[in-house]
């Protein structure tokens, strides 16, 4: 596996970093990914695999590349908990990390709106903030943001003229 920095955006509280990740397997299979690290959270932006990954393999791709990404950033993966903060001794384990629990329904939509607005006020990427908070992919996070807009917690994305 090789990890090489693509680009970095410096912010007041830290940095958002993008990395090119390449995995080569002995049977000739390979995976190329564009990964993002923000606040101890790893997200996958783009994946190309030959042959195609199964859904099970795709679901654990972030776990596969998390360790090498943390090494590339000079961060010890054992010192980061699921929320991107420092983990306590009793929280460190060798098992797979679970997605953070996120409330469903109107409460979840309200919290998505809160995360989105907080990131906007800080000048950070609001979609990435929602991704890190919920543990969901970019597509699912965009869907949650749209649901928060539909519920009236966020302003409409585009003003649409009314039809006569």
164 residues of the chain, pLDDT tens digit each: 888 888 888 877 777 888 888 888 788 888 898 888 877 677 788 889 888 888 777 777 777 777 777 777 666 555 554 444 434 433 333 444 455 677 778 888 999 999 999 998 988 888 888 888 888 888 888 889 999 999 899 988 766 666 65
Q: How far apart are CA 1 and CA 144, in angstroms?
A: 33
- Residue 143, classed as helix, strand or coil, is helix
Q: How far apart are CA 36 and CA 38, in angstroms?
A: 7
Q: What would the two tokens of residue 69 be?
A: 């990404």
Give the domain ranges of the chain.
2-89, 105-150
């Amino acid at each position: 596996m090789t990890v090489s920095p693509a680009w970095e955006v410096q912010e007041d509280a830290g940095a958002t970093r993008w990395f090119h990740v390449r995995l080569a397997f002995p049977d000739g299979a390979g995976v190329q990914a564009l990964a993002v690290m923000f606040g101890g959270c790893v997200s996958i932006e783009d994946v190309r695999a030959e042959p195609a990954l199964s859904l099970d393999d795709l679901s654990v791709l972030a776990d596969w590349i998390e360790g090498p990404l943390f090494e590339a950033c000079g961060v010890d993966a054992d010192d980061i908990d699921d929320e991107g903060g420092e983990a306590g001794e009793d929280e460190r384990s060798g098992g797979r990390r679970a997605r953070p629990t996120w409330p469903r329904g109107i409460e979840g939509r309200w919290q998505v709106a809160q995360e989105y607005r907080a990131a906007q006020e800080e000048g950070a990427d609001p979609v990435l903030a929602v991704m890190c908070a919920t543990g969901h992919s970019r597509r699912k996070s965009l869907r949650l943001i749209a649901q928060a807009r539909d519920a009236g917690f966020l302003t409409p994305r585009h003003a649409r003229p009314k039809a006569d």
